[in-house]
Amino acid sequence: MINRLCIIGVGLIGGSLSRALREKGFCRHVIGCGRDERHLQRARQLGVINEYSTDPANAVQGADMIVVSVPLRAMQSVFEQIDPHVPVDAVLTDVGSAKACVETAARKTLSGSLDRFVPGHPIAGTENSGVEASFAELYQGHKVILTPLEENTRETIGRVKAMWEATGANVQQMTAAHHDEVLAETSHLPHVLAFALVDTLSHMGDSDEVFQYAAGGFRDFTRIASSDPVMWRDICMENRDAILKILDRYMSDLENLREVISKSDLEMLQKIFSRAKDARDKYTQKYSS
């Protein structure tokens, strides 16, 4: 049970966490923090938070759990602002989509509370942003990956784990480096591809016509290209090496596919598509929740 939860960045991810914990009765009081007071007022109107402050140093006062839920490139500055003010019994975590960069930022800035900072990443989201898009069920049945620091105690990790489990999430642990490779492959690459495809089509001469006839397949494939460009810019910069590695591999496979199509190699084309269909059918059945 959390007494006073401080969420810095009350958007889709931070707002949904607060909603879920309040709905489950897992926290007594929530203070939200952000830069724009209008967003925070809206969050209070929606019942997502009880009170707010635009000053991170002030917001963390008296908190026993602090969740930093701002874009990746804003993490370090938030850590710097809160470090001298984190209560001695408070646990901190974050929700950033890449983990090695957050760990580096925390090591540079969290002098007094590094051992109580447990990095995390909920593997849940939508293409929408802001507190209006938040909802209590976002984490239900989804995974949350924690990438604990060697300085973390079992008790500290346990407090962050319990918070996420209260939202209905399934919590797992791995190293930051492994997290960043896996997420580059399963999340970051698909977002890059969706943005790239829509961008290519949108600056073709007849783009209006292309989009007019776009049907279900196009919508399914490109939904995530409606995600926040700033967030995805940050993710690409902060997980650059792992993204480049899988992008190179994908480009090479795509070159190969192009060759197969240009040669009208029906057998190979069918083989590649069948292999992909089998793999997808198998994994959607196995990991359907």
Site residues (CB under 6 A) for ligand NAP? 8-14, 34-36, 39, 69-72, 74, 77-78, 95-97, 121-122, 125, 129-130, 228, 231
- Is 11 or 148 the residue whose CB approaches ligand NAP more closely? 11
Place of tokens 């240009």: 262
- Is 9 or 119 the residue whose CB approaches ligand NAP more closely? 9
Contact 93, 68 (CB under 8 A): yes
Which burial class, exposed, middle or buried, applies to 225 when counting CB atoms under 10 A from its CB (0-12, 13-18, 19+)?
Answer: buried
- Is 96 or 148 the residue whose CB approaches ligand NAP more closely? 96
Beta strands in 9-168 (DSSP E): 27-33, 51-53, 65-68, 91-94, 117-118, 120-122, 143-146
Contact 164, 144 (CB under 8 A): yes
Helical ranges in 239-265 per DSSP H: 240-262
- Is 223 or 275 the residue whose CB approaches ligand NAP more closely? 223
- Rounded to whole angstroms, how far apart are CA atoms 81 and 49? 21
- Is 94 or 116 the residue whose CB approaches ligand NAP more closely? 94
Q: Are strands 91-94 and 117-118 parallel, antiparallel or unpaired?
A: parallel
- Is 133 or 272 the residue whose CB approaches ligand NAP more closely? 133
Q: How far is the CB of 170 from ligand NAP (least distance, A)?
A: 15
Q: How far is the CB of 70 from ligand NAP (least distance, A)?
A: 4
Contact 126, 96 (CB under 8 A): no
Enumerate the β-bridge partners of residue 51: 31
Q: How far is the CB of 239 from ligand NAP (least distance, A)?
A: 10
Helical ranges in the chain per DSSP H: 12-23, 37-45, 56-59, 75-82, 100-109, 154-166, 176-183, 189-202, 207-212, 216-222, 229-238, 240-262, 266-286
Q: How far is the CB of 244 from ligand NAP (least distance, A)?
A: 19
Q: How far is the CB of 43 from ligand NAP (least distance, A)?
A: 8
Contact 44, 50 (CB under 8 A): yes
Q: How far is the CB of 202 from ligand NAP (least distance, A)?
A: 22
Q: How far is the CB of 11 from ligand NAP (least distance, A)?
A: 2
- Is 7 or 203 the residue whose CB approaches ligand NAP more closely? 7
